[in-house]
Amino acid sequence: MKIGIVCPYSWDVPGGVQFHIRDLAEHLIRLGHEVSVLAPADDETPLPPYVVSAGRAVPVPYNGSVARLNFGFLSAARVRRWLHDGVFDVIHIHEPASPSLGLLSCWAAQGPIVATFHTSNPRSRAMIAAYPILQPALEKISARIAVSEYARRTLVEHLGGDAVVIPNGVDVDFFASAEPKEEWGASTLGFIGRIDEPRKGLPVLMAAFPRIVEECPDVRLLVAGRGDEEEAVASLPADLRSRVEFLGMVSDEDKARLLRSVDVYVAPNTGGESFGIILVEALSAGAAVLASDLDAFAQVLDQGAAGELFANEDAGALAEAAVRLLRDPARRAELSARGSAHVRRFDWSTVGADILAVYETVTDGAAAVATDERVPLRTRWGLSRET
Amino acid sequence: MIETLVWIALALGVIGVYLSWTAGRLDRLHTRMDAARAALDAQLVRRASVVLEVATSGVLDPASSLVLYEAAHAARQAEEDHREVAESELSQALRAVFADADQVEAVKAAPGGEEAAEELAAAVRRVPMARRFHNDAVRAARALRRHRKVRWFRLAGHAPFPLAFEMDDEPPADLADRPA
């Protein structure tokens, strides 16, 4: 099958959606499909052979933060050329509602279009105002995929219609077979995520940490992720700061080893998560997971069967649960075993098969994707002699 | 006087282009709906044929075979207005027969059964998918067709009002579930 995938965010900036697209493209290529990814990228960044650059993304304020987006004539022309040259059986657009490549491709293409909705933005006034602009583009999509039941619900609420739920994929064996590192083991808590992004919840964990140390004196906290380390520990008493170890940005290998090594992986995120791929990675590595009870997290953790949940933003509840887990190796082993079995449904072999099933459903008997040419008015009104 | 006429002509022209564009949009929605309906049809027929194959292969006990054969046969023969009920009954029959995980194992154990079980699992998973896509297309088409501009100018022509396909498509848990 010839598959075109549209990535809305810059290829050179690391992010969940980009990684998802990279892994999906590589998985499909391994299965023998022809894949081309259209992504914003600087012209000088080295790209894998399957990625086509759609030009540089421009930083503009959008939706409360500065987003790097692609728009304008040049991008639209590149989208058309890519569609024209590719002759795809199906195109798969990620984030079709963001004013970037996704929306442009929706405008420019006709034929079997699959779209994945990653984020679940709460309904905003801009969204309601934009509805008449979005609708003609979005109604071309033949199949919608939501990454979680939660994302599906918000999608149905905002845009109407329906979607199938296919979770994000993870290479489970990569994490399951990583070598644990001894110095990261023995009574350790792990945290991975942007340090300076409050939504990732490190402040909640910091608030709970003194109470955890009180009960388990030899506990250490390992933090991997970008951000200001000084500022992160500012709220901790001085004598506890040495118990927090910052690893900075880690490679994929080290991330897997870290998740394999820690006793408990803590995900104190306070909101804005529509899936929680990091939890799936932690489960794959066999870590006991303790996460805030966000909708998306509860779903990944099978409503608490594959990992423990605590009340969101409640440092006390977090401390209590963490202490209980740290003291109870049997419970950790039980969670780890259940998590490892549960996480198989997020493996690329399963997720990839489901996504392919969607492609096959929409391409059955349909023509290939083509650029959406405006029919000349004369032809449409039957006045043209040529046709 | 002339000026007013020019303005009126311009306004009519703009309205005309807008209506023509809307008609194009509606046309595309109908195409999408037809494609989704064809895909749903294909998945339903495929499911019924796989079930017939399993039912007549003799790997299941005679009672289960008969139940499945009956339901699949009825689903394939059903008239259009009875189709939703017949397909729902096939889903229920599948759930009843494969409620027991041992039945799935029995199919897998038979020669060539591994592929049959896989094909059946794929079929029961794809029916709900195709149905969701179809009903999503129907919803989009209905939303546009209910709009004033479409009703007043009869942009939909004689195309029948789109109807969703409602059925019970819950797959048997043991068959469709992921590898544990």
Tell whether the model's pLDDT for residue B89 goes beyond 90: yes
Mean pLDDT across A34-42: 91
pLDDT per residue over A260-305, tens digit each?
Answer: 999 899 999 988 777 888 999 999 999 999 999 988 899 889 888 8
Residue B176 contacts residue B124 (beta carbons within 8 Å):
yes
Residue A151 contacts residue A157 (beta carbons within 8 Å):
no
pLDDT for A320: 92
Q: Return phi, psi of residue A197, to 5°.
A: -105, 105
Mean pLDDT across A315-328: 91
Residue A171 contacts residue A344 (beta carbons within 8 Å):
no
Is B35 touching A (CB cutoff 8 A)? yes
Highest mean pLDDT among A37-46, A152-161, B12-21: B12-21
Query: What is the nearest CA distance from B63 to chain A, expressed in angstroms?
Result: 32
Mean pLDDT across A351-366: 88
C-alpha–C-alpha distance, residues A262 and A111, integer Å = 48
ipTM entry: 0.83
Mean pLDDT across B155-164: 83
Residue A293 contacts residue A311 (beta carbons within 8 Å):
yes
Which CA distances in Å does A85 have to A92, A142, A369? 16, 22, 11
C-alpha–C-alpha distance, residues A71 and A56, integer Å = 10
| Helix/strand number for chain B, H first, E second | 7, 0
Tell if the CB–CB gap between A142 and B144 is shorter than 8 Å.
Answer: no
Element (H, E) at A325: helix A315-327
Least confident of A148-157, A361-370, B14-23: A361-370
Q: A110: which strand partners? A: A370
C-alpha–C-alpha distance, residues B93 and B175, integer Å = 13
Tell if the CB–CB gap between B24 and A375 is shorter than 8 Å.
Answer: yes
pLDDT for B174: 76
Tell if the CB–CB gap between B180 and A365 is shorter than 8 Å.
Answer: no
Strand ranges for A11-163 from DSSP E: 34-39, 51-53, 58-62, 65-69, 90-94, 109-110, 113-117, 143-146
Residue A322 contacts residue A349 (beta carbons within 8 Å):
no
Mean pLDDT across A19-35: 94
Query: What is the nearest CA distance from A339 to chain B, expressed in angstroms?
Result: 11
Element (H, E) at B153: none
Q: What is the mean pLDDT of chain A?
A: 85
> Nearest by CB to B178, which of A344, A358, A362?
A344
Tell if the CB–CB gap between B133 and A366 is shorter than 8 Å.
Answer: no
pLDDT for A365: 65
**Closest chain B residue to A356, measured at CA:** B126
Residue A278 contacts residue A256 (beta carbons within 8 Å):
no
Chain B CB contacts of A345 below 8 Å: 178-179
Tell if the CB–CB gap between B35 and A139 is shorter than 8 Å.
Answer: no
Mean pLDDT across A207-229: 88
Tell if the CB–CB gap between A380 and B140 is shorter than 8 Å.
Answer: no
Chain B CB contacts of A140 below 8 Å: 28, 32
Tell if the CB–CB gap between A164 and B17 is shorter than 8 Å.
Answer: no
Cβ contacts of residue A367 below 8 Å, gap of 6+? A111
Tell whether the model's pLDDT for residue A354 goes beyond 80: yes
Chain A CB contacts of B140 below 8 Å: 139, 160-161
Between residues B74 and B101, the one the model is more confident about = B74
Tell if the CB–CB gap between B133 and A377 is shorter than 8 Å.
Answer: no
Tell if the CB–CB gap between B20 and A377 is shorter than 8 Å.
Answer: yes
Tell if the CB–CB gap between B122 and A365 is shorter than 8 Å.
Answer: no
pLDDT for B147: 85
Is B45 touching A (CB cutoff 8 A)? no
Measuring CA to CA, which residue among A232, A227, A231, A204 is closest to residue A290? A204
Mean pLDDT across A73-101: 89
C-alpha–C-alpha distance, residues A155 and A118, integer Å = 10
Measuring CA to CA, which residue among B141, B136, B145 is closest to residue A113? B136
Least confident of A16-20, A331-335, B74-78: A16-20
Tell if the CB–CB gap between B139 and A162 is shorter than 8 Å.
Answer: yes
pLDDT per residue over A177-203, tens digit each?
Answer: 888 887 887 788 999 988 888 888 888
Residue A101 contacts residue A8 (beta carbons within 8 Å):
yes
Highest mean pLDDT among A81-90, A111-120, B167-176: A81-90
pLDDT for B109: 84
Residue with tokens 């544990």: B180
Residue with tokens 């900075």: A248
Burial category of A381 from C-beta neighbours within 10 Å (exposed 0-12, middle 13-18, buried 19 and up): exposed
pLDDT band at A379 (very low <50, low <70, confident <90, very high): low
Mean pLDDT across A203-222: 89
Interface of A with B (CB under 8 A): 110, 112, 136, 139-140, 142-144, 160-164, 341, 344-345, 350, 354, 357-358, 360-362, 364-366, 375, 377, 380-381
**Count of CB pairs separated by less than 8 Å, A with B:** 77
Tell whether the model's pLDDT for residue A387 goes beyond 80: no
Chain B CB contacts of A364 below 8 Å: 38-39, 42
Mean pLDDT across A63-73: 71
Mutate to test the interface with B, among A156, A344, A364, A369 (most CBs of B within 10 A): A364
Residue ranges of the domains in chain B?
A: 23-176
Residue B162 contacts residue B142 (beta carbons within 8 Å):
yes
Tokens of B173: 């848990």
Tell if the CB–CB gap between A162 and B132 is shorter than 8 Å.
Answer: yes
**Closest chain B residue to A109, measured at CA:** B28
Instruction: Give all domains of chain A, ordered by start, each with its CATH number.
Output: 2-169+347-378 (3.40.50.2000), 172-345 (3.40.50.2000)
Query: What is the number of residues in chain A?
Result: 387
Tell whether the model's pLDDT for residue B11 goes beyond 90: yes
C-alpha–C-alpha distance, residues A261 and B82, integer Å = 58
User: Looking at the whole model, is its pTM more than 0.80?
Assistant: yes
Is B122 touching A (CB cutoff 8 A)? yes
Tell if the CB–CB gap between B125 and A162 is shorter than 8 Å.
Answer: no
Q: Return phi, psi of residue A94, to 5°.
A: -100, 140
B 65-84: CB under 8 A from A: none
Tell if the CB–CB gap between A142 and B36 is shorter than 8 Å.
Answer: yes
Mutate to test the interface with A, among B28, B133, B145, B149 (most CBs of A within 10 A): B133
Mutate to test the interface with A, among B47, B118, B119, B132 (most CBs of A within 10 A): B132
Mean pLDDT across A120-124: 59
C-alpha–C-alpha distance, residues A4 and A20, integer Å = 15
pLDDT for B180: 34
pLDDT for A120: 61
Least confident of A184-188, A343-347, B88-92: A184-188
C-alpha–C-alpha distance, residues B170 and A90, integer Å = 27
Measuring CA to CA, which residue among A59, A70, A127 is closest to residue A103? A70
Q: A224: which strand partners? A: A192, A248
Residue A38 contacts residue A5 (beta carbons within 8 Å):
yes
pLDDT for B177: 64
**Closest chain A residue to B122, measured at CA:** A357
Tell whether the model's pLDDT for residue A375 goes beyond 80: no
**Closest chain B residue to A363, measured at CA:** B39
Is B18 touching A (CB cutoff 8 A)? no
